[in-house]
Structure 1
């Protein structure tokens, strides 16, 4: 099990329908149910999860309309988003926790049956890992909180959740970036006219003009990494179907492939994070700032590793949140510690998580889970990652602006004229 963090760093009217068949974003690919919003009990710096099976609370049921299996989690998913009650009060029908189901592309039919089952298992297990903390106490907490549910969300989290789950309905990129994505099916409604003002909602843009090209290049690399992950997944399926390879050798090969996928995804994430750091001028503050984005890797998803993985995610995020509360308390009293973000890499899956550092008992939210090998989703997955990174950059810069004591570090000039 390895989990590490990179530097860091640490927000329109709806546009017309997409109009491009088979390329709309899938917020929860390869899974049997969608989990959005509050998916854990309140977390604490010291995690003591109950390591018991959750199978009694999960029931697989057949969808009579389209034959897709769904997951019944055994707890009310009307906690999914803060505006759920508004939709219900308006008489709109709302599918709690299930989200939009989309038909898989014809190319996906070529994937092996084992691969499809594994994708579903990984997605469900990750969601369960983050939610696993004491189911019975969760029900009591929700019942006692009542009208306090809205306070479980910071507005930064609400904005990001809405954007990530409706990426094809918002303008996300400046029109000056369009030239870098020729041949990639992106709707015209995705682009907006570039302005000098900073965005007040999650949006992809460069704050430094000379680094705009590097930002577009980082987004392109996030798209291109899908091809490499797909190739590794194809090799993995071939190994599984090869009966001439013994079980031990097959297991070792699959493990190495999983490590390779995580390495490829981490590299693409780090390149985007490095660009955002330079674009926002955050590096000039040096050690005065804590990171507000953490990258974690989960090497395995076996039953024996699930409790350890769950503890690792909560420990990493809660530890960083506690550091931020301490950092904010030493500065201006009126300045709140920011929301922190995490990218959890598990084989070919990247899960985006957020946590409110202001509240020691805040819940970890999962706005989006990305299948980085799913065909025809490479552009939408890349947009989800970079819009999160840009939002984290903007949130950290807002924190810097609100802290008058934070000043750029002055580097001593070298006396060597040849340096």
Structure 2
């Protein structure tokens, strides 16, 4: 055996079954935004199904606490147990920006930090002040959401996630909210009732991730926001079914233009897919670049100066970002006293990309509201599809040591 090459030896790094993420993060259970809006409208009913009072806290005080728990779940996408176990000093500001500090119990990673919006931070800060004004509970002093306890028993620890999810939240959804409707209509044109069993606290986590994916957040950034161990789980939010992608292409392809603003729409989804390739700031129809999958641009992706450039509304956020980046590069070039031709090139690109972006906005503005909404929805689907296809995480590329 001494003469057997080392490559045949057992190496725990390579000879093991890959870990599989448990089904808790399975997709498809995101609470739709139109349902969340209905829940927000009935927020005042949450926690009012009981008259329980304890330790100087009234039923209204407990209801207020439950309503804050709901809002934090909705806005942050954290798991229910991560929200109910927040510490009283869970909010800090870094350079003036609010950050939520929480414990990821599932992966045993404590002290995690999540950037939150100013409105969410103000909500937490308001509750902290209200909590300070309520009668102190010695066994719950360190928690943002103290345990309500049980009758004739002392209150200790923080609010239990199961108690909130299975009792307080469930009673609100099943008993207190009078109507919860879907966007779909029945044969008489009346909205169908939404399946209330699909509304669970964990669905806010999926909704949070889906909002970011729809907005074009990079997969590696969303992975950090979700605190996922595996990028494969995060990438699931960017998956677009073939039928949805074809429908999105059918909606957007006809609105493609060239660098001069002239209409260059594609006749059908197949032509859009076969005759062009997605590049950072639009579609490209240059044959050799299409054949190379977008990796053979002879003018180094100065797309706005190329007659093969075919932007459509789905690339508008990328165009806006490119314009902002070019302006920053121009300011840096001026500060460095770069040659005139460097600054002139940046100016020309800014004007060209701005012209393309303005044309995209003009096309959207003249569309009827319903058609414009359809184009914007289709554009989000295409951006998700491109993110999933194009993103290759560097940490996923491992190389064996020569040793």
Bin the TM-score by the shorter chain.
Answer: under 0.3
- What TM-score results when the alignment is normalised by the length of structure 2? 0.25
Q: With CA pairs under 8 Å and 6+ residues apart, which has the higher RCO, 1 or 2?
A: 1
Larger fraction in helix:
2
| Structure (1 or 2) with the larger CA radius of gyration | 2
